[in-house]
Structure 1
Amino acid sequence: MHCTPSPHLSRLKLFDKGGRWCLLLSDMKLAKLNKITEPGTPTDATAGALINAHSNTKVTARKGLSVNIDCREEYDHVGTMSVTNRVRVSGYKAWRDSQQLTIIIMKVLVLCALVAAAAAASPNWGVSAAQKQHDVNYLLFKVYEVLRDDNLKNLGATFDPEADTSHYSDGGDAVHKLLGELKAGNLLEQKHWFSLFNTRQREEALMVFHVLEHCNDWQTFISNAAYFRDRVNEGEFVYAMYTSIIHSPLAEHVVLPPLYEVTPHMFTNGEVIQQAYHAKMTQTPSKFKSEFTGSKKNREQRVAYFGEDVGMNTHHVTWHMEFPFWWDDSHEGHHLERKGENFFWVHHQLTVRFDAERLSNYLDVVDELHWDKPIKEGFAPHSTYKYGGYFPSRPDDILFEDVDGVARVRDMLITESRIIDAIAHGYVTARDGSIIDINNERGVDILGDVIESSMYSPNPQYYGALHNMAHIMLGRQGDPHGKFDLPPGVLEHFETATRDPTFFRLHKYMDNIFKAHKDSLTPYTKEELELTGVSIEDVAIDRTLETFFEDFEYSLLNAVDDTIEINDVDIATIVSRLNHRDFAYNINVLNNNDAEVLATVRIFAWPHRDNNGIEFSFNEGRWNAIELDKFWNKLNPGLNHIIRLSTESSLTVPDVPSFQSLMQKADEALSSGSELDLHEYESALGLPSRFLLPKGQQNGMEFDLVVVVTDGEADAAVDNLHTNTKFNHYGYGGVYPDKRPHGYPLDRRVDDERIFHSLPNFKKTIVNVYHRN
């Protein structure tokens, strides 16, 4: 079949932006819808549509916004990335309709002639996934040392970022700004600590990010990266690289090396780092055991394995890179959907999971933080910056003090009271004085933006930045007045924050604010919750639920200084971490309807008892529910037997391959000319798969296991979710796949639990989780 493309198609580009296929024209900027033209004319716009595998799809985008194209796995990638890709676009048209742009995309095979026509304009033409992975690996390898790749080293020395500004989508504005600051000597020096919570340092890191973000092609991207790697602060560079790789359409299929092997000093006890230096100096291959912070005299030590887990640290920092509080739609070019609600949910889940871990270790659930009461737990990090000394410690039971130049304690109390007043009134007040209703299911999204506070906050001048300021206030309590000129505390870095037990007190405090809002909403009725003709007949687990601790090894090669003349030796640390045996859910669902039904299957669990052995009420339990999985399934008429593996959970991600493994895989693919396939690891956003199941107890710990089947047609924001179990829990193709609020249907208070127990599409049972030494 041969199709003659529209005359405009030679100017069409398709970028894979972290799983979001963005439809572009060759002469436009990636992101903002600037204007709408007459029918059939090219537009300076970003728009798109969900590509349906079986029919034409029409999606409408309001002026000023962008829509994403979602590339389905069941057919070839859409794009002009290489001659092997086949473009399934036969035409488009645009017209004016109530200030809306509509693009119709038809799934028709366009032969390689179209690919050839567009190839010259493609930003990734001739650059393989292996080459891009190789480049990123070496840009981040030994980031405090000279570049070890000859090509990148040469680019760092000879590239002129301002020589040809046609290679930037902003005309070179970002690179002019950064070079101006660099030449004026205004940037932070190298070999100095970096904190995202430091306003000036964040501004500098974002200058680098914006340069990389506006590169039109991969060669310009890596040339700038190599050039500024040699000239800007290393911490700022690493942050800019990670966020640009996550958000740039140029970096499709690139897997970021595990951050704990790029900057291992942020994740590893200082004593082990010192041992690593000794091994390097003596050229002795070594492996050192890492212990968790503290001692057995400290009760919090029992749950240190949770907050200090390097996978947990990576999960937390990755989420904040995917949904950064500094993100500005007008500058970055697209909207981060449900960012405020995601902020609430990811931290709510960390908090309730931490509570479950505490109960499994015979500790009470964590209490919330109070600005006018002592900070109960102190913390001694026993870790050190690469440059800048040890992380500050904090003793037990100290009262909050004002932090010079940041905030006063009374400011935090005022901010808190304004947010609580907004919840009580059911609305927030915007900058212009207008009223924004939050007394609805989407109110939590606005509230999350307010509490964090992100650039999406409708009025940060009035409502402040409760979350961000709290992190700084806590991080500085070891030296609140700067008397000892100490570096930032662990709570002033997202990659180290969960190591401090007070992190969970802080988020329990914020979680209770969110709960006040959620409890103000009207409970769901039985009519809203039931799924007509569908009932859950039985729920069972196919094997004993067991958790255990295992040893995990990661490299410390990047923790030590060296020169090219000295050979590397294998230096690693071994740390204990939580894991569980794989298991499966067996769910029998009866569909009494005559037709097929698309269902959303939602699985939760919560501890059955508190630390005193008292059973949690249904209303208490549902707020403490741990989300275990969510997936879509088509129910045939009659009985449906669903087997869902724990490894299939849509919430979790596997361990990223080690830095050494990524380098080896990329270099082997380059030398052999083979394809590099690392798609399984492209997103590190989810919870570590090892943490899916909370730790049990030796004689078994009871959990209430809940399965709810809801209307998949009403729930789904993306088509064909039942065919794709790999969607990311916080967004798929730029769209969160579930229209329902996070935690639905357990997100609202339950005044009468009989409503749930009477639902045929709801099933609760008790399971035991055992822990084996």
Structure 2
Amino acid sequence: MADKRITVLQDYINAILTDSPHEKIRKRRRLQPGEDAPPRWNNFDLNQQRLVTELDAEYRIILASAKDDDQTIALLYKVADKVQDQLNEVLKYDPALIKHAFNVFINNHPAAIKLGLKTPSLKRISSVILLPGQSLPLGGLETKMVTSGVADPDFPNKNFAYTKDRQGELFIWMHKQMLARYDAERIAVGLDPVIPLDYHEPIPEGYLPNKHLLNFNENSTAADLQDKYDYRKPYSSINSPTNIANVDKWLQSINKSIDDGVFYNDPDKLGRTIDPDRTNPDILEDNEWKAKYGSLHAMGHIMVGGINGNEKVANALKEKKLRPPIGVILNVSIASKDPAFFRWHRLVDETFNRCIETTLKARTFTDGPDVVIKPDGMILAFKDQLEKVCPEGAHDGWQKFGQTHFAKIPATNELQTKMVPRNLRGPNNDIIKIEHVFPREFYYFFKVKNNTTKDAFDTAADKIVKEPAKKFVTLRVFIVPEVLAADRKQWIEMDKFKYELKAGEDAVIARSCELSSVIRKPAQKVFDDTPGDDFDNDYCGCGWPYHLLLPRGTRDGMKFKLYVYISDWNADKTYESTAEGSLSMCGRKIVDGRPAKYPDDRDMGYPFDRPYAGKSLQATFAKVVDPTIANARAIDELAISSVPGDYWLDNTAMRDFTIRWVDEFC
């Protein structure tokens, strides 16, 4: 297989999805005045999701006859040609729908994955949607928030044509993490954690998209309106009594089923109910389930996105039988720009938590491995400082240096972020400068003692004895703003990875922020806007940006806690899974053309997935946790008032640190 052929094919795919020049790109037809536009692409419309599935099936049929890689490449060109033809059917399809279907196909078909084909980043597909808008009213604390604009991967639907393992649980977990990250930013600017959306009442927060998305008026044509978005005024109301009534009914049904135990101990089933991904209309059970529970998650987006801020223009367009622009919350790539996105997802998350809080027993963590980690065995160090004391350590990520010179690691109690300029290309190929929060690169160092033993026979003593044994463990790393530490739902998962401890080993584990489960690339590339570079790979496959690894923090230094829980990998591992560690944010792994098993048998968010067993975080992870025993109060107070390292479970530890927002790293 010639690499050049793959490169040429990739260039063709890029050109289709970014509207870039290419020798195979034909002139596209546009809607003409007076022509009726098809329904605008809406990520949350079930009928359009079904259409995407049908288009994906058409593309797969074309590839079905491929016997080898050469035939596959030739047939992939035919798929791309078909996509071009469909993009010209402007009376039948919204172009954005066709591009989404093509994205789904390229990101999921085993043949495309095998060839290494990818879809361009959002920056290449449409840079203007990444330009920041503003929360309304202007000047409020909300306008100081740091939001990514691409933080919503919309699990489990976006870019996945078929069901992933634990799809419903992934949907809940990812949005739960986004809420925790958002609340950390709210605390930094002096706001309280986000509260659930009361969809019956006016929404205090408004949103104003950037000017390029607002460039429409009463004289706009259908073609002009396909990529525009409306604003939402503060204290505007949802204007669909039918949709509100449906949400009331669905929430009542879901909550009753939670109370009746229908979803007992099955977060995946509840997640799939809150966000159904049933595209086959012929399955009776699905229709009955959908009639009872509806599409709760999607309807929140639809209700808020349907509010027209510019009512005069909207009415004028309706008189011309044109559909007015929608809110950004209906575009899954930029939905999180709107503050109402987080308020709606807080309501969804609390519905999920109702199940967890009322039906699942608290964990007592009795199955941890026989290992020891202490707060003083958790070190943070900046990469640039490590380079100064041991330049050659870059070859192994300072693993050997940490093992042999633990006391000489240039430790820091303060992580840093700053705002970094970035160039985006505007609609007229002009350069537009924006800013993103960005972390100073750092490493974790964890000192872990392996006390695991196994039975062995001592021939000299003629008896069974214990001897050191190797142990596979999972390190689960979290952070949380100190003021939110008492709420298990506010802990942000930073990393989760497997490690082999040698028999009797007193190990030092070095872990780079670049290698964590949520990031995959060096920092410098994020802000590169090299002309012609179609693959800047700003984001990992699930949509979580590297530059949002850490919350921004504050100028004075915002207090956080770093927490590590070490679990037994033999209890964590998922049988039949070929992957190790965890794809914490998306679970995207395809083996033999099908989604692989999620490589962690624990509930997502473990050990913060269930209510605390004690009255506090400290008491929950104290060495003795039994709320029923007589001295439970004493244990609770002891764990709170004393050094955690002395009274906590040996396989877990926590330490304090701060995140400071600086002008320059130094």
Q: TM-score normalised to the size of structure 2?
A: 0.73
Number of the residue aligned with 2:119: 256
Whether the 8 Å contact between 1:698 and 1:772 is mirrored in structure 2 is: yes
2:58 is aligned, of 211, 224, 246, to: 211
Post-superposition shift, 1:193? 4.7
1:451 is aligned, of 261, 267, 274, to: 274
Number of the residue aligned with 1:527: 366
Q: Distance in 1 between matches of 2:335 and 2:474?
A: 34
Number of the residue aligned with 1:21: none
Q: Cα gap change, 1:762/1:238 in structure 2, threshold over 3 Å: closer, same or farther?
A: same
Number of the residue aligned with 1:583: 442
Number of the residue aligned with 1:132: 9
Q: Distance in 1 between matches of 2:576 and 2:658?
A: 36
Partner amino acid, structure 2, of 1:366: V
Is 1:539–2:381 an aligned residue pair? no
Aligned pair count?
533
Number of the residue aligned with 1:652: 519
Whether the 8 Å contact between 2:275 and 2:297 is mirrored in structure 1 is: yes
Post-superposition shift, 1:518? 1.5
Whether the 8 Å contact between 1:291 and 1:575 is mirrored in structure 2 is: no
Is 1:439–2:439 an aligned residue pair? no
Number of the residue aligned with 1:231: 89
Q: Cα gap change, 1:261/1:478 in structure 2, threshold over 3 Å: closer, same or farther?
A: same
Number of the residue aligned with 1:740: 602
Whether the 8 Å contact between 1:653 and 1:687 is mirrored in structure 2 is: no
Q: Distance in 2 between matches of 1:207 and 1:188?
A: 23
Partner amino acid, structure 2, of 1:496: I
Partner amino acid, structure 2, of 1:225: V
Q: Distance in 2 between matches of 1:539 and 1:508?
A: 33
Q: Cα gap change, 1:749/1:392 in structure 2, threshold over 3 Å: closer, same or farther?
A: same
Q: Which runs of 5+ in 1 are unaligned?
A: 1-81, 83-124, 158-186, 269-289, 428-437, 561-569, 611-615, 667-677
Whether the 8 Å contact between 1:536 and 1:590 is mirrored in structure 2 is: no
Number of the residue aligned with 1:346: 174
Whether the 8 Å contact between 1:653 and 1:686 is mirrored in structure 2 is: no
Post-superposition shift, 1:316? 2.6
1:473 is aligned, of 303, 326, 332, to: 303
Q: Cα gap change, 1:727/1:128 in structure 2, threshold over 3 Å: closer, same or farther?
A: farther
Secondary structure (helix, strand or coil) at the match of 2:259 reads helix
Whether the 8 Å contact between 1:634 and 1:722 is mirrored in structure 2 is: no
Partner amino acid, structure 2, of 1:297: G
Q: Distance in 2 between matches of 1:399 and 1:488?
A: 15
Q: Cα gap change, 1:251/1:661 in structure 2, threshold over 3 Å: closer, same or farther?
A: farther
- 1:165-564 correspondence runs (5 A): 189=37, 193-198=40-45, 201-216=48-63, 217=72, 218-232=76-90, 233-252=94-113, 253-268=116-131, 292=134, 297-303=139-145, 305-306=146-147, 309-310=148-149, 312-313=150-151, 316=153, 320-323=157-160, 335-382=163-210, 383-384=213-214, 387-388=224-225, 390-402=228-240, 407-427=242-262, 438-440=263-265, 443-455=266-278, 459-478=289-308, 483=315, 485=318, 486-520=324-358, 521-528=360-367, 530-536=368-374, 538-542=377-381, 543=412, 544-556=414-426, 559-560=427-428
Post-superposition shift, 1:293? 5.4
Encode CA deviations 1:398-420: one digit per residue, 9 max, x unaligned: 343325xxx33222112111111
1:635 is aligned, of 501, 513, 533, to: 501
Q: Distance in 1 between matches of 2:493 and 2:125?
A: 31
1:596 is aligned, of 470, 482, 493, to: 470
Q: Give the percent of matched residue pairs that are identical in Structure 1 and Structure 2.
A: 22
Whether the 8 Å contact between 2:141 and 2:189 is mirrored in structure 1 is: no
Q: Distance in 2 between matches of 1:384 and 1:237?
A: 23
Whether the 8 Å contact between 1:650 and 1:729 is mirrored in structure 2 is: no
Number of the residue aligned with 1:756: 621
Encode CA deviations 1:200-243: one digit per residue, 9 max, x unaligned: 55555444333223321323222322332333432122212211
Q: Cα gap change, 1:657/1:351 in structure 2, threshold over 3 Å: closer, same or farther?
A: closer
Q: Which runs of 5+ in 2 are unaligned?
A: 30-34, 64-71, 216-222, 280-285, 319-323, 382-411, 453-467, 591-595, 624-648
Partner amino acid, structure 2, of 1:372: H
Secondary structure (helix, strand or coil) at the match of 1:634 reads strand
Post-superposition shift, 1:609? 1.3
Partner amino acid, structure 2, of 1:194: W
Whether the 8 Å contact between 1:605 and 1:628 is mirrored in structure 2 is: yes
Whether the 8 Å contact between 2:169 and 2:268 is mirrored in structure 1 is: yes
Secondary structure (helix, strand or coil) at the match of 1:506 reads helix
Partner amino acid, structure 2, of 1:491: I
Q: Cα gap change, 1:728/1:397 in structure 2, threshold over 3 Å: closer, same or farther?
A: closer
Q: Distance in 1 between matches of 2:143 and 2:516?
A: 29
Number of the residue aligned with 2:542: 685
Q: Cα gap change, 1:375/1:706 in structure 2, threshold over 3 Å: closer, same or farther?
A: same
Post-superposition shift, 1:249? 2.0
Q: Cα gap change, 1:480/1:206 in structure 2, threshold over 3 Å: closer, same or farther?
A: farther
Post-superposition shift, 1:196? 2.9
Q: Cα gap change, 1:711/1:480 in structure 2, threshold over 3 Å: closer, same or farther?
A: farther
Whether the 8 Å contact between 2:379 and 2:446 is mirrored in structure 1 is: yes
Whether the 8 Å contact between 2:52 and 2:100 is mirrored in structure 1 is: yes
Q: Distance in 2 between matches of 1:396 and 1:135?
A: 44
Secondary structure (helix, strand or coil) at the match of 1:348 reads helix
The farther-off stretch of 393-402 and 721-730 is: 721-730
Whether the 8 Å contact between 2:583 and 2:599 is mirrored in structure 1 is: no
Number of the residue aligned with 2:483: 609
Secondary structure (helix, strand or coil) at the match of 1:214 reads helix
Encode CA deviations 1:144-168: one digit per residue, 9 max, x unaligned: xxxx3334549x99xxxxxxxxxxx
Number of the residue aligned with 1:717: 574
The farther-off stretch of 206-215 and 348-357 is: 206-215
Q: Cα gap change, 1:660/1:592 in structure 2, threshold over 3 Å: closer, same or farther?
A: closer
Whether the 8 Å contact between 2:177 and 2:492 is mirrored in structure 1 is: yes
Secondary structure (helix, strand or coil) at the match of 2:603 reads coil
Post-superposition shift, 1:607? 0.9
Partner amino acid, structure 1, of 2:480: W
Number of the residue aligned with 2:432: 573
Secondary structure (helix, strand or coil) at the match of 1:414 reads helix
Is 1:142–2:16 an aligned residue pair? no
Post-superposition shift, 1:452? 1.3
Secondary structure (helix, strand or coil) at the match of 1:523 reads coil
Is 1:707–2:546 an aligned residue pair? no
Q: Distance in 2 between matches of 1:134 and 1:363?
A: 46
Partner amino acid, structure 2, of 1:150: E
Q: Cα gap change, 1:704/1:339 in structure 2, threshold over 3 Å: closer, same or farther?
A: same
Q: Distance in 2 between matches of 1:188 and 1:262?
A: 26
Secondary structure (helix, strand or coil) at the match of 1:150 reads coil
Q: TM-score normalised to the size of structure 1?
A: 0.63
Encode CA deviations 1:474-496: one digit per residue, 9 max, x unaligned: 11122799855322211111122
Post-superposition shift, 1:371? 2.7
Whether the 8 Å contact between 1:599 and 1:634 is mirrored in structure 2 is: yes
Post-superposition shift, 1:724? 7.5
Number of the residue aligned with 1:768: 658
Whether the 8 Å contact between 1:139 and 1:229 is mirrored in structure 2 is: no
Q: Distance in 2 between matches of 1:726 and 1:742?
A: 11
Q: Distance in 2 between matches of 1:204 and 1:653?
A: 33
Encode CA deviations 1:581-623: one digit per residue, 9 max, x unaligned: 011111011001211100100001111116xxxxx43xx1x22
State the Cα RMSD in Å: 3.3
Q: Distance in 2 between matches of 1:721 and 1:642?
A: 24
Post-superposition shift, 1:291? 6.7
